[in-house]
Amino acid sequence: MTEKPLILVTNDDGITAPGLRALIDVMNELGDVIVVAPDSPQSGMGHAITANSTIYCNAITIDDGPQIEYSSSGTPVDCVKLAVNEILNRKPDICVSGINHGSNSSINVIYSGTMSAAVEAGIEGIPAIGFSLLDHDWEANFEATKSYVKTITKKVLEHSLPEGVVLNVNFPKLKEKDIKGIRICRQAKAYWAEDFDKRTNPHGRQYYWLSGKFVSQDKGEDTDEWALANGYVSLVPVQFDLTAHHAIQKLNSLGFNEE
């Protein structure tokens, strides 16, 4: 008998998030599912780890299903580390993270706990995918994403991924019949123009609320932002080697190595 794939599921919105529950439903169709997810929302945590305090991790039952679940006080990256080093008795065949409430396209991949969990799995040598939906609503409808999640995950299970690469998959907020398909994309060039709302509390101490506006500088039709705006699922291959290889020759010409 062929052994079922072992699938690690995590997220950054927390163990009870509807997006995570939708992802678990799909993964239960594909293999044996182990869930290790934060016990509270961890959005925007990026690749943070818990280094100066304790981490708790407990078995938990949220709803019916064959999956085995653990809730952790740690970050999304902590959850992957705990799963690989403490909970699982073998390396998972794939790690899937999400489905995030809100897009992680373009520069958002840098801040995303969802994608950082996938990247951490990739660092561990595990094929990994981060899934996100362009809808921040806690009651977002994830039904339109499920067939695509299943298709993409099956492809990766069958063919793996290039070394050092994980996938960043984002879904437009559309009904399934209105989604035009999947586009392989590059990350759009964009940034957040931050705005800090400065206030004073009743004790006279100043504090800030962070807000901002997303600014796209990219008019290309091969980007994740273009794909989402035009009704496609965007799929961006992400590498976690941050070396700017194209800059090495230029830097060598500046004489840093001269004595």
* Domain locations along the chain: 6-187+220-252
Q: Give the 3-state secondary structure of residue 150.
A: helix
Two tokens, residue 7 = 């699938």
Let me know: does 95 contact 10? Beta carbons within 8 Å.
yes
Give the CATH architecture of domain 6-187+220-252. Answer: 3-Layer(aba) Sandwich (3.40)
Q: What is the pLDDT of residues 41-69, one digit of tens each?
A: 988 889 999 999 999 999 999 988 899 99
- Confidence band, pLDDT 50/70/90 cuts, at residue 192: confident
pLDDT digits (tens, 9 = 90+) for 96-143: 999 999 999 999 999 999 999 999 999 999 999 999 999 999 999 999
Which ranges in the chain belong to alpha helices (H)? 18-27, 76-82, 108-111, 113-123, 146-159, 224-229, 248-252
CA trace torsion 152, 153, 157, 159 (10° rounding): 10
- pLDDT tier for residue 2 given thresholds of 50, 70 and 90: low
Segment 183-208 shows an average pLDDT of 93
185 pLDDT exceeds 70?
yes
Statement: residue 1 has pLDDT above 60? no
pLDDT at 26 over 60: yes
Q: Assess contact for 11 and 120: CB atoms under 8 A.
A: no
pTM over 0.85? The answer is yes
